[in-house]
Amino acid sequence: MSRPTKLTAAQVFVAGGLPTVTYNPRDQLGLETQVRDYLEERNRVLSVFGPTKTGKTVLVKNVLKETEAIWTSGGAIKSPSDLWSTVAAELAPIISIEESRQTTDGSTGTLSGETQIIPGITKVSVAGQIATSSTSGDKVVRSRPTEISARQMLRSQRLPLIIDDFHYIDPAVQMELVRSLKDLVFDGVPVIVIAVPHRAYDVMRVEKEMTGRVEQLSIGFWSNSELRGIAEKGFNALQVVDEDGFIASKLAEESFASPHLMQDFCLQTVKGSGYRERQDPPAPLHEPMWEAFFKERSISNASKTAFDMLVRGPRQRTDRKSRALKNGLTVDIYGAVLMAMGHTGPLTSISYEQLRAAMREIASAEDAPSGQEITRILGEMTKIARELEGEPVVDYDAGLTTLHISDPYFAFFLRWRAAEDLAAREELTKTDFGGSGAESLPDGPTDIQPSESQSASSNVVESKSKGAAGVQDGKLPRKLKKLKRRR
């Protein structure tokens, strides 16, 4: 007799998938109830929106887990035909009709006579009927457009259609999709779009006639109590003991309101304690070496890419002004603003006053940028962030003078990796360009005010032949030699 399979840690804590054991419906918010009410009432589009990695898709999938539904991703939709091809593949509608026509012509007759079997002796009479026929026909195959067939099947079956990452779809394509879905929504086909906050109203923006026909469901950041619920359910299921709930509380504090991060932290903590499956008898959970644990978790390619783009800033020909921070780093204004963001915690929403206060705490009075400079840099960072794929990691609301860090992974990177990354950049700058800090970065953006630009312009070295700074024939240009001597 085979032994029953033990519950594994990877089955309990699921980061980036659909958790079952540790799923937290956040009952106090009534999110599942609102989705179910929509599915029952219909005749509108449901827009489920919220910051990235806060459980939007998990919520909808959990509500629909017992319901047949059609799922598609906005990242895979480049034209309306992509959507209808997905629907057709799911519903297998009749897209061709074959018609055939057949005719038969025939005739009958009578045959009679006699023949001799033995000549002159035996005669045999023969009589019967003869029938002849011929058949002719033609065949016609008529094809039906995929969209028409898919729409008819969707209308007849009224299955929920879910478009995840709706914000990834080009606005022009969004408009065509919404217009083609409008009559289906009117006929009772449930359509759910999942998007990030600043794109929550795309359905109405691209098609004004949808105003009043879109229901909004906001999925906000998680509280520490909700995040601890994930840990408590999982630890209990695996029978690992978190004395006084200290480890769960610490992990929740560092998860930046994201269940995605919390699931990953819990999984790695259990594995770090040497457990891969349910413990029998219960076993103690070991507290990690926190700094090493979180720094290891902060290595994220996506967050690193976004950070590099923001710290580099827009490409300009003038050098940046160096600013010395109290922790010993020498950075430019972009690095200083990113460090100030991180110094707030970082908070996921940072007011202008909070950012100014953080800047005064990390930089001396002479090196701290002015309020006007900070505002300008926040605007530039927002532009850069919006050019990156997916939801912008930062978004400055000039009207409310508030900076939003919408990606918890980026917030986590700022807290645990930003200073180390900037220090490595500073060291690389010294090694490669013989400088003393950020001012030697080539082709970097500038935070120099007009009064500073004139004195700084002599630092720009250009090749007359190529229009770019650099070393020619292994020799330093004359201006760069002078610059090095001044340093």
CATH of residue 42's domain is 3.40.50.300
Whether 243 and 190 map to the same domain: the answer is: no
Going edge to edge, which strands form the sheet with 394-397?
A: 349-351, 402-405, 394-397
Residue ending a domain, among 249, 281, 297, is: 297
Whether 175 and 317 map to the same domain: the answer is: no
Is 41 among the domain residues?
yes
Whether 405 and 417 map to the same domain: the answer is: yes
- Quick: pLDDT tens for 217-227: 999 899 999 99
Whether 324 and 365 map to the same domain: the answer is: yes
Is 103 among the domain residues?
no
Whether 183 and 275 map to the same domain: the answer is: no
Whether 362 and 227 map to the same domain: the answer is: no
Whether 397 and 437 map to the same domain: the answer is: yes
Q: What is the dihedral of CA 356, 361, 363, 365, to 10 degrees?
A: 80
Q: Which residue, 202, 222, 73, 97, is CA-closest to 148?
A: 97
Query: How many domains is the chain partitioned into structurally?
Result: 3
Is 111 among the domain residues?
no
Residue ending a domain, among 297, 329, 357, is: 297
pLDDT, mean of residues 254-276: 96
Q: Which of 210-214, 222-226, 394-398 has the lowest mean pLDDT?
A: 210-214
470: Cβ contacts below 8 Å, ≥ 6 apart: 461, 463, 477
Predicted pLDDT at 264: 96
- Report the C-alpha gap between 365 and 386 in whole angstroms: 32
- Quick: pLDDT tens for 426-483: 888 776 555 544 444 443 444 444 433 333 333 333 333 333 333 344 444 444 444 4
Residue ending a domain, among 218, 237, 254, is: 218
Is 331 among the domain residues?
yes
Is 188 among the domain residues?
yes
Is 121 among the domain residues?
no
Q: What is the DSSP letter of 7?
A: P
Whether 152 and 194 map to the same domain: the answer is: yes
Whether 46 and 175 map to the same domain: the answer is: yes
Whether 178 and 307 map to the same domain: the answer is: no
Is 138 among the domain residues?
no
Please tell me the pTM assigned to this model.
Answer: 0.74
pLDDT at 110 over 70: no
Q: How confident is the model at residue 299 (pLDDT cuts 50, 70, 90)?
A: confident
Whether 308 and 290 map to the same domain: the answer is: no
Is 21 among the domain residues?
no
Locus of tokens 């606005």: 171
In terms of residue numbers, what domain contains 332? 301-481
Whether 193 and 44 map to the same domain: the answer is: yes
